Chains A and B, each alone.
Chain A
Amino acid sequence: MKNFFAIFFSIFFIGFSSSLSAVESKDPIKLTLHDWTGQLITTNIMAEVLKKAGYNVELVPADYIAQFAGLQTGDLHVAMEMWETTGRDAIDEYTADGRVVNVGSTGMDAIEEWWYPTYMKEKCPGLPNWEALNDCAEAFATPETSPKGRYLGGPVTWGGFDDERVEALNLDWEVIHAGTDAALFAELESAYQRKAPIMLWVYAPHWAPSKYSGEFVDFPPYTTECYTDPSWGINKNSAYDCGKPRGPIWKVASSMLKDKWPGAYDAVEAFTLDSNEMGNLVASVDLDGNTVEAVVADWMSSNEGRWSTWIK
C-alpha cells in the first residue's frame, strides 16, 4: 500500500491516455528550456527529432540548476545542455545515486577564456598573447583596482581558477567576480557602448562573441598536468599556469527516460552537433533576427540524413 496514491493517480490517468502506437509510451517527454539561444536550438532540434519518432514532447522553461530536482524525481526528463564548466557540481551531486544520468557529450565543446573587445587592441597591441597582459594592465584598470588591471570573472560558482591563474602567471591583475552571467554581460554591454576598457570571462557558444567583436586571450594551452602538477609549465612552483580547459557540453536525463522511453533515450544519446555548426545557428537567430523555430526547421530539412539515424 505504499504507493497508494501512485495507484490512485494511474487509475485516474488511464482514462486519458490514448491508444499506444509504435513508441513505448505516449506520455509527454519533458525537455527543459533555458535562457540562452544555443540551448533553445539544441533542445528544439531534439524535440523535433523525437516528434518525428512519434513521441509526445513538451518543452518546459526551467532554471539551469533548479531543474535537477525535477530530473531527479522524474518530473522533467531531458536537459540538453549541461556545461562541464558550470554544471559539474550539480551533475556529480545528482548522478551519484543514479536517478539522473549523464547521456554523454553533445559533441560541442565550450570555450571559456579571458576575452576583450577588438577596440582594446589599439591600447594593447601585444594582445591576444597573454604575455602582453602585464604591459597593459593599467589600460584595463579602474579606480578600485588601479594600477592593476581589472578582470571580470564569472560567478564564483563557475570555478575557473582565475585567482590561481593570476598568481601562477604573475599577472598584475585583480579578479572581480560577477554574480551571474547577466551581470557579466551587462558590464560588457556598458563598456562596449562607451568603448571603455574591459577584460572579462566570455564563453562560447554564446551570443556575446557574435554580437561584440573581440578576441580570446591566448594562454599557454591547457593540459591536465597543468592543473595538477606544479612543475609543469612556465611557473615551476605552481599549477594553473595555463589557459582554461575546453569542456564538453553534456546531455543529462532522468533515469526514468531510459526505463519508460528507451527508444527516446537512444535518440538523445545519439544526438550530436559540433561547435561551429552551433555558432552559425546561434548567429542566425541572434544576429540575423530569425526565430528559433525557423532556424530549427531549416536545420531539420537539410540534415535529415543525420537525425534519421538517431531514431533508428
Chain B
Amino acid sequence: MISNIQNNKKITFFLLFIITFILYFYGKEIASYFDAKWIIKYPKHYIFPISKYTSLFVKWLMDEATFGIFSFRDLTRFIAWLIQQPYNLILALISKGFLQGQGQDAVEILPPLSWISVITIIVSMALYTKDKILVALVAFAFFYLVIFGQWESSMVTLSSIIIAVPVGVIIGLILGILSYKSEILERIISPILDLMQTVPVFAYLVPILVMFGFGPVSALIATIIYSMPPMVRTTLLALKSIDPQIKECGLMSGCTERQLLWKVLVPVSKPTLMVGVNQVIMLSLNMVIIASMIGAGGLGYDVLASLRRLNIGVGFETGVAIVVLAIALDRLSQAFVNIPARKRKKNISFFKKNFNIITLFIFIIVIYLLSPFLPLIKNFPENLVFNTSLFWEELVKYININYYDNLESFKVTLLTYFMLPIKRFFLGIPWPWFITILTITGWYFGKLRLAFLCLVLSLFIVVTGLWEKAMITLYLCGSSVLIASMIGIPLGVWAGVNARANKALTVFIDTLQTLPSFVYLIPVVMLFRVGDFTAMLAVILYALAPAVRYTAHGIKNINNQIVEAALICGCSPRQLLFKIKLPLALPEILLGINQTIMLALSMLVITALVGTRDLGQEVYIALTKADIGRGLVSGLCVAFISIIADRIIKSGSNKLKDKYGMI
C-alpha cells in the first residue's frame, strides 16, 4: 500500500519532468502550431502598468499626503532630524570635532577624540571581558585602521554603525516583543520583514532620499531597514522557545506583565538575542557601500571611489578595513554579553570599584589636553602609514598577464557546458507551464496555502512583464547556488567534523560576507571580462557563507548517542558521514541552501554593475532613470522569487524534520 503510494508519486514526478522537457524543446513549435505566441512571450498589451501607479502613489505621498497639521514629509523630516542629533554628536566626538558655524566659517570649538583615545577605549572594553584573544584581535583591527591610513574614514563609518546598530536592535526587539504578544501583529509583520530583507536596497533608495533628505540620515535609515529584520525574527524565536516553566515561575512569583517581560523573558533569552545583534552588525556593515552612495561617506565611499579609479589595491585595503571593523565589533559585542559573571564583592568604595574606569577617563582627558600640542596625537604620522596597494595591483597584473589564457579556457568550458544549458532551459519553458509546476510544487509541500502563494506571486511577475528577466535571474542565481552549494557543503562538513577547520573557516566566511563585493568585482572583471560568468563568481563568493555555516551546524548538532550507536554498529568514518550524519543534517543543510539563495538574490543588483540582464539590472536602470515605480516593482519581483523559494524549501525542510521526529 505504502509502496504503491510512493510509486504513484514517483510516476507523477516523472511525468511532470517529461512534460517540462518536451515543452522546453518544442515550446516554440507548439506555440506557432496553435498560433498562440503568448505561451512563449506574455503579450505586451496585457502588461499591467503597476509601476506607473506605484510612482504616482509615491509622488502623492511625498508631495501631498498630510495628517492635518503636518504633512507626511514633515513627519519623515522630523524623524530624520531626530536621528541626526545623536549621529552628529558621535560624529563630532570621534571624527569631525565640535564645530561652530557653517561651511568654511566654521571654527572648531573642541577637537575630536584622538586615535589613541579611541583605541584605548575599545581595547579597555576588550580587556574588561578578560578574553586575551579578543584583546589581541581588537587591538589588531584598530591598529590596522591606523596603520593603513583608514582612520578618518573608518571613524565616519563607525559613527553610523554606532547609531544604526542600537536603533536597529531596539526597534527589532520591540517589534519582536510586540509580535510575540500579538499573533495578529506577527502575521502582519512577517511578510513585511520578508520584503525588507529581499527587496533590493536600490529599489527604495530614491523614495528614502526624498523622504529623509540627502545625507547620512537616509543612509542610516536604509541601513536600519536592511539590517533590522533578523533582530525581529530572532527576538520572536527566542521568546517563543523559552521553557514554559520559566514563564510560569515568573508568573507564580507575582510578576506583572512588564516585570515578566523585562525581568524574566528578555534576560533569559539573551544568548539567542545576541545572534540577532550579530546579524544586525554584519548586515549594517554590508550596507556601507550603498550607504556611501547616498551621502554616508566613510569607508564605503573610499572603496567606491578607488575602484572607479581602478585603484584595486586601495580598494582592497579599504575593503579589509570594513572587514576588520565588522569582525572586531561583532566579537566585542558577543564577548560583552557573555562576560563571565563575577561574584559580587561587598563593601568596596565607589572609587575602588570603578578604579579602571576612572583611570581610563583620566588618561583620555590627558590625551585630549595634550592633543593641540602633539601632532602625533591628533593624527597618526603620515610617513608611518603602510601601503600595500601596489602589491595587490601587481598581483592582479601578474595573474592577468600570465594566467589569463588558462582562466579564459576554464571560463569558456564552464559557460558552454554548465551555464548556457541552464539558461536555455529556464528561458525555454513556456511561462504558463512554469507557473503550473510551481503551483504543483507548492501544493506538494505546503498544500493549498503555499500553492496559492506560488501562483499569485508568479502571476505578479508575469503581468508586470518582467517574466523573461525573472528567468535570467533564476538562471544566474540557480547556477551560482548550485556551485556555491557544491563548494560550501563539503567545506561545512569539514568544519563540522574538525574543530580547527571550523575556526579558520569562520573567519574566512565572516570575511567573505563583510568584504564589499565591489572589492573583488573589479579584479574579477579584469580576469574574466564583463558578463554572466563574472556575475556568477561574485554571487558565489558572497553567497557561499550560509551553505558552509548551516552544514557545519547541522553536522555538529547531531545527537552524540546516534553517532555512538553508529560507531558501535561498525561504521567506518566514511560510512558514518554518508549514512548517518549527512542524512540527519539534511534539513539544516536545506535551510543553508535557502539562505544561500536569499543572499544570491540580494547580490543581484550588484551583478547588474557587470552587465547582467536580469531583474537586478532592471532595478538598477530604474535607479539611474529615477523611476520610483519601476524600481519598486522589479524589486518586488526579486522579493517574490526569494519568498517562493524560501517557502518551498522551508516546508521541505520541515517535512524532513517531521519525518525524522526532529521537531
Contacts and interface: CB of A to CB of B under 8 A. Distances in A.
A273 interface: no
Contacts of A75: 213-215
A67 interface: yes
B617 interface: yes
Nearest to A180: B609
The prevalent SS among residues of B at the interface is helix
B530 A187 contact: yes
B17 interface: no
A180 B309 CA distance: 12
B74 interface: yes
A289 interface: no
A231 to B, nearest CB: 29
Nearest to A8: B78
Interface string B391-425: 00000010011001000100010010000000000
Interface string A169-183: 000000011111111
B408 A182 contact: no
A207 interface: yes
B530 A176 contact: yes
Contacts of A177: 530, 611
Contact of B74 (A5, A144, A155): A5
B313 to A, nearest CB: 13
Contact of B70 (A4, A57, A73, A143): A4
A132 interface: no
A66 B294 contact: yes
Nearest to B298: A61
B70 A1 contact: yes
A3 B69 CA distance: 8
A207 B309 contact: yes
Given A18-B105, A180-B610, A189-B526, A66 B213 contact: no
Interface string B587-624: 00000000000000000000111111000010011011
Contacts of B404: 190, 194, 196
A157 interface: yes
Contact of B103 (A4, A56, A193, A196): A56
Contacts of B297: 61
Contacts of B620: 157, 179
A50 to B, nearest CB: 10
B71 interface: yes
B168 to A, nearest CB: 22
A186 B526 contact: yes
B265 interface: no
B205 interface: yes
Nearest to B62: A73
Contacts of B530: 152, 176-179, 183-184, 187
Nearest to B409: A143
Interface string B45-85: 00000000000000000000010011100110110010000
Interface stretch (B300-308, B449-457, B576-584, B653-661): B300-308
A221 interface: no
A66 B103 CA distance: 23
Interface stretch (A89-97, A237-245, A258-266): A89-97
A6 B611 contact: no
A61 B301 contact: yes
B295 A69 contact: no
B608 A179 contact: yes
Interface string B196-217: 0000000001100110011100
A18 B101 contact: yes
Contact of B401 (A3, A90, A152, A194): A194
Interface string A90-120: 1001100000000000000000000000000
B104 A51 contact: yes
A128 B397 CA distance: 28
Contacts of B521: 183
A182 B214 contact: no
A189 B523 CA distance: 10
B102 A27 contact: yes
Contacts of A194: 400-401, 404
Interface string A186-217: 11011001101000000000010000000000
Contact of B295 (A56, A61, A176): A61
B527 interface: yes
A62 B294 contact: yes
A157 B103 CA distance: 35
A36 interface: yes
Contact of B206 (A3, A9, A69): A69
Given A61-B292, A67-B214, 9 more contacts: A61-B297, A70-B213, A75-B215, A178-B611, A179-B607, A182-B310, A182-B518, A182-B525, A187-B529
21 contacts: A3-B74, A28-B102, A29-B103, A61-B295, A63-B293, A66-B214, A69-B206, A70-B213, A73-B210, A75-B215, A143-B412, A152-B530, A178-B530, A179-B610, A179-B612, A179-B620, A183-B525, A183-B530, A186-B522, A193-B400, A194-B400
The 3 closest A-B pairs by CB, nearest first: A70-B214, A56-B103, A69-B209
